[in-house]
Amino acid sequence: MSSMKVVGLMSLVMMLAAGTAQAATGMPLEPVRVSYAAPGTNGGITLKIAAASGGCTNASHFKLQVTQEPTRQVLRVIRTQQDFCERLDPQGTTVEITSTALSQGKPIYVENPLFVGMR
């Protein structure tokens, strides 16, 4: 098999794997950085989450999807509304969100890619 066919096949496999992960949520996961997690109100956990922003992003633009597993909690931060503002914010915006689906006592595994702001 020629190297061109192998590269093409590997690209297809990688695209299919990415497509499967994307299909589970309907959209690609937003890169985020969780910088803080502490007990919140009503027995939940409050998270500080940084994400890319055009200047209008707020906590209502995100929903948290939590899957409880025997030894950990899997967290997906899903952006539900795009930010079309045009202010450049290289460090992104940090929002606070409290989730009653998260519990104390088990590690939280964040599935989203890591958001790294520019300096």
Q: What are phi and psi of 53, to 5 degrees?
A: -150, 145
pLDDT in tens, 4-61: 433 333 332 333 233 334 435 466 898 999 998 999 877 789 999 999 998 899 999 9
Q: Where are the alpha helices (DSSP H) in 1-119?
A: 3-25
Closest CA to 38 of 80, 79, 99: 99
Q: What is the pTM of this model?
A: 0.72
Closest CA to 50 of 31, 28, 37: 31
pLDDT of residue 21: 41
